[in-house]
Amino acid sequence: MEDRFVGRTAIVTGAGSGIGRAVAHRLVREGAAVIVADVSADRVADAVAEIGGVGQGRATGVTGDVSTQADVDRIVAAAGNRIDVLASVAGIMDGFLPPHELDDETWTRVLGVNLTGPMRLTRAVLPHMMSAHKGSIVNVASEAGLRGSASGAAYTASKHGLIGLTRSTAVFYAASGVRCNAVCPGPVITNIDGTPRSEFAMQVIAKHLQALPPPATPDDLAAAICWLASDDSRNVNGATLTSDGGWSAA
pLDDT in tens, the chain (250 residues): 679 999 999 999 999 999 999 999 999 999 999 999 999 999 999 999 999 877 789 999 999 999 999 999 999 999 999 999 999 999 999 999 999 999 999 999 999 999 999 999 999 999 999 999 999 999 999 999 999 999 999 999 999 999 999 999 999 999 999 999 999 999 999 988 889 999 999 999 988 887 788 999 999 999 999 999 999 999 999 999 999 999 888 7
* Separation CA 36–CA 75 (nearest Å): 9
- Give residue 1's pLDDT: 61
Q: Which residues contact 210 (CB under 8 A, 6 or more apart)?
A: none
Burial class (CB in 10 A: 0-12, 13-18, 19+), 193: exposed
Q: Which of 138, 197, 148 is nearest to 169 (CA)?
A: 138
Q: Is 173 a catalytic residue?
A: no
Q: Are 166 and 240 in contact (CB under 8 A)?
A: yes
* Separation CA 178–CA 240 (nearest Å): 16
- What's the pTM? 0.96
Beta bridge partners of 183: 140, 241
From 5, 107, 155, 173, the catalytic residue = 155
- Domain 9-244: CATH superfamily is NAD(P)-binding Rossmann-like Domain (3.40.50.720)
Neighbours of 134 (CB within 10 A): 16
Beta strands in the chain (DSSP E): 9-13, 33-38, 58-63, 85-88, 135-140, 178-185, 240-243
- Tell whether the torsion through CA atoms of 179, 4, 227 and 66 is positive or negative: negative
CA 3, 9, 12 angle in degrees (round to 5)? Answer: 105
Q: Which of 189, 144, 136 is nearest to 162 (CA)?
A: 144
Instruction: Provide, rounded to the nearest whole percent, the portion of the chain with pLDDT above 90.
Output: 90
Identity of the amino acid at 86: L
Domain boundaries, the chain: 9-244
Q: What is the strand order of the sheet 58-63 is part of?
A: 58-63, 33-38, 9-13, 85-88, 135-140, 178-185, 240-243
